[in-house]
Amino acid sequence: MADLWANLRDHADRNDDRHILDLFEDPGRAESFSVRADGMLFDYSKTRIDAGARGLLLDLARASDVEGRRAAMFSGEKINETEGRAVLHTALRASGGPIIVDGADVMAGVLETRARLYDFAEAVRGGGFAGQGGAITDVVNIGIGGSDLGPAMATLALAPYHDGPRVHYVSNVDGADINDALQGLDPKTTLVIVASKTFTTIETMTNARTARDWMAEAVADPSAQFVALSSATDKAGAFGIPPERVFGFEDWVGGRYSLWGPIGLGLMIAVGDAAFQQFLDGAAAMDRHFQEADLGDNLPVLLALVGIWHNQVQGFATRAVLPYDNRLSRLPAYLQQLEMESNGKSVAMDGTRLQVDSGPIVWGEPGTNGQHAFYQLIHQGTRVVPCEFLLAARGHEPNLTHHHRLLVANCLAQSEALMRGRSMEEARALMGKKGLTGAELERQAAHRVFPGNRPSTTLLYDQLTPFTLGQIIALYEHRVFVEGVILGINSFDQWGVELGKELAVALEPVLTGEAEDADKDGSTRALVAAVKAAGGI
């Protein structure tokens, strides 16, 4: 394996001075460095990957046994080794089985829960399930991390399909979040969803209790308007939510992969069961593609290999996700959890230290907004930021196609500009046309040089429909999986979030004065004292 990494680095070094634009001397490059699946096009031709690099990357994927690990995941083997769990979020969008875990087919339970969820969502939408003041007008989903980011991102993404009650998302333990979300809502016609796999997460439980108190001021039986989505059905019961309104899921669904089952209830209520089913179908189509396509034509595999090439081979530490699709504005935040919680680890599966960098720092904003904020650095900064553009060929506003035309033009122009750049000669000519000469021309021209040769990829899809959104999310899930396999990481645990949580629990009594701060460092002690002095707690 070390040889393969060395070969890749060697290949990158040998071609270091080659310009991406030169690779287009091959007239077939755009075609041969793109891949299509079920109406989606992934173009990675504007990177420095050539046929040699691609071959080496595919060798790395094969040597890492991506195909074997993929089969193990889909068949329910316990590939989450540190927690001894299977990884089967794919079962949540499957239409049949069998899928065996611990000797039993899990699909009957999946389909039964899905049917219960669809019935409940339709009852909420149709008035069959009402609040104590009439039909439900608003739904508040209380959750955090995977119990919030997925459904919140998808609910926003599918706004054109909303035809149910308004759905709001509350995640932060900052009282501002729930306070602002509940403003203007009628507790008698509001449904509260408490979404927590563990039903112990302090932010979620604190917000859930606040919501219950808020509701108790207006209705006789607040828990009658509460629903729980959780693996810990007993804890949901202890909170006072009756079994008929508890929707459970198994420990083989990781939090950040849970949108496809009960955690998707908010989205289901917003768009209805038919649209939600299309969302599942899109993801299932991507699952099939991932399982069946050759590695060299496989979208998740190629996204992963491009990621590995940029991060671990070329050493570009960050990755910008730039959806030219305003309704995907929460996609970067969603992908931050998916990618960074999954692959942000320095220990390999076998407990040894990782020999390569862990997964990349993921960030982004929708275009064109980002163009007027951070693109300056992307174009002219000293560090290279590989960019991933997402673009719909068609928008949802038939009366505003001129907006869409501009959106498309901007997206394509950005990837072109990143690659092409502007040389000093071109900048000089530009300044000359403006009438500058001599030293002033030189000085001004230098500021207008764009280094270019900056890599980007483009994911183009027809329109952001429920089906397409399902494809996109499943594509990224599998990309993260493939990257994790190649890095030798367990992508399905998240021990790195524990320490901060433990220290927060220990600090609360320090803030209230019930515990001493003697074991705290000087900075933490001083900050606690300053907050207390300001009277904030």
Catalytic: which of 372, 402, 434, 447? 372
Report the amino acid identity of residue 400: L
Of the pair 201, 453, the CB lying nearest ligand F6P is at: 201
User: What six digits make up the tokens of 74?
Assistant: 């889909």
HSE-CB at 240 with a 13 A cutoff on CA atoms is 12
35 or 86: CB nearest ligand F6P: 86
> Shortest Cβ distance from residue 490 to ligand F6P (Å)?
13
Report the C-alpha gap between 43 and 31 in whole angstroms. Answer: 8
Residue number with CB closer to ligand F6P (205 or 472): 205
Nearest distance, CB of residue 196 and ligand F6P, angstroms: 3
Region of 164 (left: φ > 0; alpha: ψ -120 to 50; beta: rest) is beta
Binding positions for ligand F6P, 76-135, rule CB under 6 A: none
In the complex, what is the shortest distance from the CB of residue 187 to ligand F6P, in angstroms, rounded to a whole number?
23
* Cβ distance to ligand F6P smaller for residue 177 or 341: 341
535: number of Cβ within 10 Å: 6
Alpha-carbon distance of 396 to 226, in angstroms, equals 34
- Interface residues for ligand F6P in 491-530 (CB under 6 A)? 494, 497
Residue indicated by tokens 């183009």? 460
The one catalytic residue among 250, 341, 365, 388 = 341
372 is catalytic: yes
Nearest distance from C-beta of residue 238 to ligand F6P, angstroms: 15
The least CB distance from residue 372 to ligand F6P, in Å, is 32
CB of 173 to ligand F6P, least distance (A): 12
Whether the Cβ atoms of residue 329 and residue 370 lie closer than 8 Å to each other: no
Q: Which residues in the 181-240 window bind ligand F6P by CB under 6 A? A: 196-198, 201, 204
Nearer to ligand F6P, 255 or 307 (CB): 255
Residue 11 appears among annotated catalytic residues:
no
Contacts of ligand F6P in 20-39 (CB under 6 A)? none
Beta bridge partners of 230: 248
Q: Count the Cβ atoms, other than its own, within 10 Å of residue 115.
A: 11
3-state secondary structure of 140: strand
Q: At closest approach, how far in Å is the CB of 479 from ligand F6P?
A: 18
Q: How far apart are CA 98 and CA 439, in angstroms?
A: 75
- Closer to ligand F6P at the Cβ: 30 or 202? 202
Tell me the residue type at 434.
K
CA distances (Å), origin 375, targets 314, 322, 415? 21, 11, 11
The token pair at 152 is 């919140």
Three-class secondary structure of residue 193 per DSSP: strand
Rounded distance between C-alpha atoms, residue 283 and residue 498, angstroms: 31
Residue among 106 and 340 whose Cβ is closer to ligand F6P: 340
Best CA proximity match to 169, nearest among 269, 277, 274, 283: 269
Active site residue 31: no
d(CA 390, CA 411): 8
The interface mask with ligand F6P, positions 134-173, x = CB under 6 A, is ----------xxxx--------------------------
Among 151, 164, 255, 262, binds ligand F6P (CB under 6 A): 255
Q: Which of 97, 103, 75, 102 is nearest to 88 (CA)?
A: 75
Q: Tell me, by CB under 6 A, how many residues bind ligand F6P.
A: 14
CA–CA gap between residue 458 and residue 66 (Å, rounded): 24
CB of 76 or CB of 254, closer to ligand F6P: 254
Q: Min. distance of Cβ 262 from ligand F6P in angstroms?
A: 11
User: Strands 190-195 and 226-230: what pairing?
Assistant: parallel
Report if residue 332 touches ligand F6P, rule: CB under 6 A.
no
* Candidates 31, 397, 425, 501; catalytic one: 501
Q: What's the rounded Cα separation, in Å, for the pair 354 and 341?
A: 16
Q: Which is nearer to ligand F6P, 169 or 389 (CB)?
A: 169
The three-class DSSP label of residue 422 is strand
Beta bridge partners of 363: 320
Which one of 114, 168, 256, 345 is in contact with ligand F6P (CB under 6 A)?
Answer: 256
Min. distance of Cβ 207 from ligand F6P in angstroms? 11
| 323-357 core/surface letters (b: 16 or more CB in 10 A; e: else) | bbbbbbbbbbbbbbbbbbbbbbbebebeeeeeebe
Spatial contact of 315 and 358, defined as CB atoms under 8 Å apart? no
Q: Which residues are catalytic?
A: 341, 372, 501
- Residue numbers at the binding site for ligand F6P (CB under 6 A): 144-147, 196-198, 201, 204, 255-256, 341, 494, 497
